[in-house]
Chains A and B, each alone.
Chain A
């Protein structure tokens, strides 16, 4: 483990700590249209966009475990969902071109929607079997949009702080082919 990796690890740890503080202290208490944003999920998505699928999956795992602890849920549910989310977001971004605000917004909405849907299926299987479509309309869709709205400034902020690299102009996969 070299120095660069240690610094990156420290940054991620700091990011998780900040996310815990912000999510538990502030964000979970502010509901917009009846839903609250999930900073752990947003950070997982944003990090996967900026750092790729492995970082996304790793951060997703840590964030998921922390979220499970914070929300007192069966340990591993969110971890699993966030790992999948981080990994696949990273994979999709790898094949995308430039990462503009609209891409960040729409990707975040899509990723949040799928992630919550997966989580919802878990809940549906384990919990009361009623009102799944209602939950999609009242919870999953609005939260996906809210997460998407928060993802854009958060992405910009993390780029400015140097936690995420500047967005690419060309997809990595295409670059590899052209080389």
Chain B
């Protein structure tokens, strides 16, 4: 018997479906695994199994495509994170490189201290370069040690800068202290146009004066014309005069010039120290000679 009213019919169907659902549910839970409802379900599931396995093959390219996009998105995000990490690591690398360079420079200074022949009682003080001359008219550097550290005007200063090649490269004479305060000192570089250092060429009995210039180049003057001077020979301090001790390396002979009107050779000197990148120096605190 079918209800005549549409709404009643609808409700009847709904109620029947609910009852059937509940009945199915109840039977499923109450019957054993080998019961008829389970058997039907297993049969149905068996019918769907080929569909599911075939589905996995069909869906595979779609899944891969989706995964590809997903991976692309995560890769993009990861790339951003890595970019940040790279920048951070680059910063660290720069710091480490700085440390390594500093280490190298200090090693150079130690080398200078250990291999040099300095007057007895000479003390050494490593200082940081904290300022440089702003114009080419003068060539000097400001260091972070002063009279409070035992420094005084007239002390020689050596330095070490990164350089490759020659054994002495990078290590050599820098200049002398010309002005001093309690905690700073001004070091006139040997490249200053007013600087002159008594020097000699190793292996030759040639002596002269190494002088600076406005261009920053070094020239060795007053070398006797009769003495043969070849390029690459090492020039060191001669020790004459009150400031620089003997045998402090200055540079090498770069070029030898001879003019007919000049009674001396004019030798172009290439300094061991690269003054453009000078960051640390060592002051040789030579004991004061009592007058």
Contact = CB atoms under 8 A, between A and B. Distances in A.
Given A53-B10, A74-B25, A83-B14, A24 B51 contact: yes
How many A residues touch the partner, as a band?
20 to 34
Interface stretch (A58-66, A95-103, A138-146, A159-167): A58-66
B17 interface: yes
A72 B46 CA distance: 10
Interface stretch (A7-15, A25-33, A109-117): A25-33
B25 A77 contact: yes
A15 to B, nearest CB: 16
B240 interface: no
B248 to A, nearest CB: 74
Contacts of B73: none
A20 B50 CA distance: 12
Interface in A130-157: none
A79 interface: yes
A24 B52 contact: yes
A77 B20 CA distance: 11
B20 A61 contact: yes
A26 B24 contact: no
Contacts of A174: none
Interface string A56-96: 01101100111011101011110110011001000000000
Interface stretch (B59-67, B81-89, B104-112, B176-184): B59-67
A21 B54 CA distance: 10
A75 B38 CA distance: 8
Interface of A: 20-21, 24-26, 28-30, 52-54, 57-58, 60-61, 64-66, 68-70, 72, 74-77, 79-80, 83-84, 87
7 contacts: A20-B51, A21-B51, A76-B21, A76-B25, A80-B22, A83-B18, A84-B18
